[in-house]
Chains A and B, each alone.
Chain A
């Protein structure tokens, strides 16, 4: 099974104020096992919607097409079942959970996923050891484990916290929704390292970004251009360079 993630003709809409708006309009995308793919595209092209639909957000209604992961129909699964299967979404705007201790949250999440995968749960001591190693690696203060999830975190801290979760949950498909936006260059490097260190034959990633600069640190296998709810162009890393220089115009015109 070389096709790890296979999306065919995916259509999705969102209902707002009684009218429904189609955002994904027949999207095709295949990510083989072990590859890192990047999606770039103008604002409003449906990139975040794609990440939400893959992670199982219920505000979006899938009206056509399919999405399979590891041979399973992803769209049939609850969000937590997708997490157990290995899907991870790093949120563009991580959500605050007042009063919920970050370390507790992480441990419960890790153990929920481990249990679902038939792995042994981690006790508090071994979890804390692991978490400390990982925060160190991400140059995060250990203090962040004691705080409430994302509450009072700076933008950069929130993104690092997402990467921390990703590393602890050990997904086989990581979707990063503009994780690089708003990061300074040091933070960007740390985030990229978080992804790169997971790279291997059993790890695939879908990286959504606006900026070519992230690709200086994460070298993708493929780059896709997304517009109007579809992938309109795919190619190697050179596509990103071309985009940076010339913008989306030529791809949009070619697709029109």
Chain B
């Protein structure tokens, strides 16, 4: 059914969505000079008081990066990025790292309050006691790549779980960091991961020992605040044999006219029978209705199922960023290991998203599931790009892929680019794909039942994404649903 003028009007209104998280926080910043060279890398390492091996690791990455060029295969367009025109180190001014929440700049706390992050221990405890509505969530807040507070560390430590800023892990747990950092995403894996390896300033580190089920959800909130800075966080999660952990990340940034670069690297390591669930709600600033400003979100996320029957599950709700370039992947190296990817990508206005996953089946009886939902509105462009590879040893490997695209209006685009490679005759790979529009029938049906047009769109979109949203932890799912509604409705109504 063709879009009638009403739908087009709605879309035009939708495109002017207001970004609710566009505020700026006045925190005194400690900035490194603009530009990127070996001295800056050395400065970052020195400021983080890192050991020599870490500095060498960074320098190796930096030298590799200098030899590389930006990837150009993604279906995204942007003006050339001047990597010398950004600050690679920005830190809220503090003599030492804050030891408790009392020491944290009150302005920062206010920011987190605005973001709705339950940072206060009190609030958190109240939440726990409050009729069991909220499950406790341990939060690590990363502000311009610097971790400012991590909550619930004591409870976690009692269970043997390490959850701390990665900068701290480098100093406190060097043996673990050394053993795993860069093993899933090698330093020179790609242009952006190399850049990240050279200049990352913080991120989260999680270690769950053998047989431990992490007693609570772990969560990191990332926020880019400073002007002309890039955010390069680094996350490393290790789950030993039979360990289980669920990790959430949320992200926002102030509204700015210039584009800002976000190039994160996330590495997951799951040993025998371990399970890592990694959920993302990404809401970086997408730019204004004319496509000005917004975050370039160039992220490398990869997990390895090292042990037999290990399982890694990625769930992502991507509503923000001017450009998203992101392919959370699973290397299925353990026998019978399982990789999952559940994704909702919403683009509106002039946003561009090229996202998907890679499932690399190395061992026998490995299974992977991909469910990708793409919603395009306004003049946006969205691409699902996914690779399923069955290596010769992936006997009885199985993959199921489902890609559904929903178009709103007639000025947006949706593309599906699946790459399927099978080198084992017994492997089974299924791929299903659909493209649909919100039909006038559906809209009219809802409206005749009393829904406004925006409510109807929100309802239909949430229904479309249900298979993915149900994979999110409860509280995050509610947040994600609201976010979908806001991303598509904006200032309407």
Contacts and interface: CB of A to CB of B under 8 A. Distances in A.
A118 interface: no
A227 to B, nearest CB: 26
B444 A57 contact: yes
A101 B462 CA distance: 10
B465 A99 contact: yes
A89 interface: yes
Contact of A80 (B4, B441, B451, B467): B451
A248 interface: no
Contacts of A100: 459-460, 462-463, 466
Contacts of A96: 442
B448 A55 contact: yes
A89 B465 CA distance: 28
Interface in A94-141: 94-101, 105, 108-109, 112-113, 116
Contact of B455 (A58, A95, A97, A108): A108
B445 A94 contact: yes
Interface centre among B442, B450, B459, B463 (most CB of A within 10 A): B450
Given A94-B445, A95-B442, A58 B459 contact: no
A78 interface: yes
Chain B facing A: main interface SS: helix
Contact of A97 (B6, B459, B465): B459
A58 B4 contact: yes
Given A100-B460, A109-B451, A95 B445 contact: yes
Interface in B404-436: none
Contact of A91 (B4, B445, B467): B445
Interface string A76-87: 001110111000
B449 interface: yes
B447 A83 contact: yes
A169 B441 CA distance: 20
B440 interface: yes
Given A97-B463, A100-B463, A108 B445 contact: no
A85 to B, nearest CB: 10
A79 B451 CA distance: 9
Contacts of B6: 58
Contacts of A79: 444, 447-448
A83 B463 contact: no
A119 B42 CA distance: 66
A165 interface: yes
Contacts of B447: 56, 78-80, 83
B115 interface: no
Given A57-B444, A58-B4, A79-B444, A98 B449 contact: no
Contacts of B465: 99
A112 B463 contact: no
A56 B448 contact: yes
Contacts of B463: 97-101, 148-149
Interface string B360-387: 0000000000000000000000000000
A222 B15 CA distance: 50
Given A91-B445, A108-B459, A98 B464 contact: yes
Nearest to B464: A99
Given A58-B4, A105-B459, A99 B449 contact: no
How big is the A interface, by class?
20 to 34
A155 to B, nearest CB: 16
Contacts of B442: 95-97
A53 to B, nearest CB: 12
Nearest to B447: A79
A169 B449 contact: yes
A238 interface: no
A99 B453 CA distance: 18
Contact of A112 (B441, B455, B464): B455
Contact of A99 (B4, B446, B451, B462): B462
A8 interface: no
Nearest to A112: B450
A251 to B, nearest CB: 31
Interface string A57-97: 11100000000000000000011101110001101001111
Given A58-B4, A59-B4, A78-B447, A97 B452 contact: no
A80 B453 CA distance: 8
A161 to B, nearest CB: 11
A149 B449 CA distance: 13
A59 B4 CA distance: 8
A82 B459 CA distance: 20
A105 B439 CA distance: 17
A99 B450 contact: no
A56 B465 CA distance: 28
B475 to A, nearest CB: 17
Nearest to B445: A95
Given A98-B463, A99-B466, A99-B467, A83 B450 contact: yes
A80 B450 contact: yes
Nearest to A98: B463
Contacts of A56: 444, 447-448
A109 B456 CA distance: 10
Interface string B452-487: 110100011011111100000000000000000000
A100 B446 CA distance: 11
Nearest to B441: A95
16 contacts: A56-B447, A56-B448, A58-B6, A59-B4, A59-B440, A79-B444, A79-B448, A80-B450, A83-B448, A95-B439, A97-B446, A99-B464, A100-B459, A108-B455, A108-B459, A112-B450
Interface of A: 55-59, 78-80, 82-84, 88-89, 91, 94-101, 105, 108-109, 112-113, 116, 148-149, 165, 169
Interface of B: 4, 6, 439-442, 444-453, 455, 459-460, 462-467
Given A59-B440, A95-B442, 18 more contacts: A55-B448, A58-B6, A58-B440, A83-B447, A83-B450, A89-B448, A91-B445, A95-B441, A99-B462, A99-B465, A100-B459, A101-B463, A105-B449, A108-B455, A112-B449, A112-B452, A112-B455, A113-B450
